[in-house]
Amino acid sequence: MVEPFKIHEGVAAPMMLDNVDTDQIIPSREMKAVSRDGLSVGLFAGWRYVSAESRELHPDFVLNKVPFNGASILVVGENFGCGSSREHAVWALAEFGIRAVIAKSFGAIFRDNCVRNGVLPVALLSNDVEAIAARTASGVEVRIDLAGQVIDCGGDEYTFEIDAYAKRLLVGGLDPIGLTQSMSGEISEFLSRDREVRPWIYQG
């Protein structure tokens, strides 16, 4: 059960890079067990620690600086979460305490993974993301109202678009498998019809 997302207010860490891939969010070497848990220690490991072998925090990395070490929101550039489909990237972010990511755009699989794990992905126009990043860099907190689809950053308001499906899952903390299982009648009907139309799919 994921935590429903209604209104969230918190420290937002600006990380204004484009094409931050999921290998950066969590390097594969940090995926050590067949599990969704215990991944936050590997979050941004390549940038967060002084070396691959070390757990000594790199002083220049944004999430190691006060107040951003307590961030619950990331403000990022274009195509955030591109690359590998590893959901571990979102599990690591969520376990670290990130509830929302404000981006210029997202990698498609990463965005869906966010929605599945109660992390709100907000895409805004480039200039708006830059403006929010500039304010948050000086410690201004961000308030996100998902129902109203509005972000408040130090009195500046930004409305955002989100598809109805993602919004419904996030606001309700819903499990889509349950939703789909409630349509099992339609699925069965499709399958019996389709076995006649495309029998080769069901061979072997």
Partner 1 sequence: MAQTIFDKLWQAHRIADAGDGADLIAIDRVMLHERTGGVALKSLAEAGRSVLAPERAFAIMDHIVSFRAGRGRDESRSPGGETFITETRAMAKAAGLHLIDTDDTRQGIVHVVAPELGLAMPGASIVCPDSHTCSLGALGALAWGIGSSEAEHALATGALRVMKPAQKRVWFNGRLGAGVTAKDAALHLISLHGAAGGSRAAIEFAGSAVDAMDIEARLTLCNLAVEFAAFTAVIAPDDKVFAYLRGRSYAPGNDLQARAEASWRNLYTDDDAVFDEEIEIDANAIAPTVSWGTSPEEAVAVTARVPSNARPAALSYMGLDAGAKLDELPIDGVFIGSCTNGRLSDLRAAGEVLRGRRIADGVRAICVPGSQSVQRAAEAEGLDEVFKEAGFEWGSPGCAMCFYAGGETFLPGSRIVSSTNRNFEGRQGPGVRTHLASPATVAASAVAGRIADARAFAAVDTVS
Quick one: which of 6, 8, 9, 23 contacts partner 1 (CB under 8 A)? 23
- Which helix (H) or strand (E) segment is 61 a member of? none
Q: Is 97 in the site for partner 1 (CB under 8 A)?
A: no
Other C-beta atoms lying within 10 Å of the C-beta of residue 118: 19
What's the start-to-end Cα distance of the chain, in Å? 36
Residue 69's alpha-carbon distances to 12, 77, 141, in angstroms, are 10, 19, 13
x-marked contacts with partner 1 along 156-185 as a string, rule CB under 8 A: -------xxx-xx-------xx-xxx-xx-
Please identify, among the stretches 4-12, 18-26, 65-73, 131-139, the one whose residues bind partner 1 according to the rule CB under 8 A: 18-26
Q: How far is the CB of 167 from partner 1 (least distance, A)?
A: 8
Q: Is 55 in the site for partner 1 (CB under 8 A)?
A: no
Q: Is 200 in the site for partner 1 (CB under 8 A)?
A: yes
173-176 long-range contacts, Cβ below 8 Å, gap at least 24? Answer: 173/1, 173/2, 173/3, 173/4, 173/5, 173/118, 175/1, 175/2, 176/116
Give the type of residue at 122: V
Q: Is 130 in the site for partner 1 (CB under 8 A)?
A: no
Q: How far is the CB of 72 from partner 1 (least distance, A)?
A: 21
Cβ within 8 Å of residue 28, ≥6 positions away? 84, 86
Count of residues of this chain found to bind partner 1 when the rule CB under 8 A is applied = 60
Q: Is 38 in the site for partner 1 (CB under 8 A)?
A: no
Q: Is 36 in the site for partner 1 (CB under 8 A)?
A: yes
Shorter beta-carbon distance to partner 1: residue 79 or 136:
79
Quick one: which of 4, 19, 148, 172 contacts partner 1 (CB under 8 A)? 19
Determine the Cα–Cα distance for residues 34 and 10; give it in Å rounded to an integer. 31
Cβ within 8 Å of residue 3, ≥6 positions away? 118, 173
Q: Is 7 in the site for partner 1 (CB under 8 A)?
A: no
Place of tokens 């994921």: 2
Instruction: Give the binding site for partner 1 (CB under 8 A).
Output: 17-19, 21, 23-24, 27-29, 31-36, 46, 51-52, 78-79, 82-88, 90, 105, 107-109, 112-113, 116-117, 163-165, 167-168, 176-177, 179-181, 183-184, 186-187, 190-191, 194, 198-204
